[in-house]
Amino acid sequence: MENKLATKFVYDWRLREYTAADGKVYKRWLRRSRLVAREYAFLERRDDTYSPATSTHILNLLPLGHLQKISEMDKDSKADNKAYTLASLDVKDAVLMVPQEKAVTVRAKLRGEDFIVQRNLRGQRLGARHWYLFLRRSLKREMEFKFWKEQPCLCNNDRGMMMIHVDDVMFAGETQYLKDVVLKKFQERFTISFEELGDNGTSISLLKRRIKKIDKGIALISGTSALKVVKAFEEHFGEARGQFVPCDQSMLAEDISDSLSARDAFAFRSIIGICLYLGRGRPDVLYSVKGLSSCMAKPTHAALQKLKKFVGYLRGTEE
């Protein structure tokens, strides 16, 4: 029996570069339409839909390993005459390349008939997990990568190490291996964008964070700022007074207050989403961000007050 899947077309605008006949590069707005699945969590509750994800400390592991290799190259006794690099890959069509586990029929009729979908669609609840398992099998089979039991988003072989966060990948290892094997294998199957750390001043991006090469090593630069969080909050909820600490004991208290309205809850979740990226480079706010993110499922008035205090603290750390 084939499973039926409800779908819809999602439209948006994207600013894209293009090369004109005269060779000059211009930017223009392009209208995009995508067919996405309509699957809702409340229709089928399950706990096997998630893909392994990175944490703040894991994000720093590969850059540290790269620095160690570079430092060893400066010591003649340990040098192996190999060049090492740090790079990031973004797989553009990740979910769309994964075969469906079971035959799926698109419920919405196109041209007066149903269609069988053989690949995952964006919006399918199992899409991220299926992609992770698909990529994991490919890396183990084709490049002999071994995945860590303690942290499933990490894998390595004798020539390099990878960190996988859904469709974002970071590689640290031999430069020649990256170019001759890793990139070729990925480009054979997927559409990817690629950045490599080179001379001083060059940088790569991963999860809205930049890693920049400098004279004394590398700099980790957050992709967002405290100012952006403050602005997003005050545009919707009004001004937040300055605070000396990001949270107090209320973060541990039982929350029995009423839920926020749908509009306020949406704004609350959007602001916490920005905070999650900010916290990766701010040890002083990590605990507060963790506590606030636990309120995203059901934002309340008490949670909003905690967020307001947190934003007040960020006002004093604006750059």
CB atoms within 10 A of CB 165: 17
Two tokens at 318?
Answer: 């604006």
Spatial strand order in the sheet of 203-206: 203-206, 209-214, 217-221
In this model, does residue 182 exceed pLDDT 50? yes
Q: How far is CA 144 from CA 158, 164, 180, 245, in A?
A: 9, 16, 15, 48
d(CA 134, CA 91): 13
Backbone φ/ψ region at 258: left (φ over 0), alpha (ψ -120 to 50), beta:
beta
Percent of the chain with pLDDT over 70: 91
Per-domain residue ranges for the chain? 3-221, 226-315
Backbone φ/ψ region at 183: left (φ over 0), alpha (ψ -120 to 50), beta:
alpha
For 137, phi then psi, to 5°, come to: -60, -40
Two tokens at 314?
Answer: 């960020």
- Predicted confidence at residue 318, as pLDDT, reads 63
Pairing relationship of beta strands 3-5 and 99-110 according to DSSP bridges: parallel
- Predicted confidence at residue 63, as pLDDT, reads 92
Q: Nearest-CA neighbor of 210 among 225, 202, 220, 200?
A: 220
Please say whether the beta carbons of 284 and 246 come within 8 A. Answer: yes
Please say whether the beta carbons of 313 and 246 come within 8 A. Answer: yes
Q: What average pLDDT score do residues 169-181 get?
A: 96
Please say whether the beta carbons of 166 and 131 come within 8 A. Answer: yes
Two tokens at 129?
Answer: 């997990």
DSSP-assigned beta bridge partners for residue 34: 10
In this model, does residue 1 exceed pLDDT 50? no
User: What is the number of residues in the chain?
Assistant: 319
Reported as a single tens digit per residue, the pLDDT across 30-57 is: 888 888 888 765 556 566 667 787 877 7
Please say whether the beta carbons of 301 and 250 come within 8 A. Answer: no
Can you give the pTM of this predicted structure?
Answer: 0.76
For 266, phi then psi, to 5°, come to: -65, -45
Reported as a single tens digit per residue, the pLDDT across 119-147 is: 888 888 888 889 999 999 999 999 999 99
Q: How many CA atoms lie within 13 A of 101 on its CB side?
A: 9
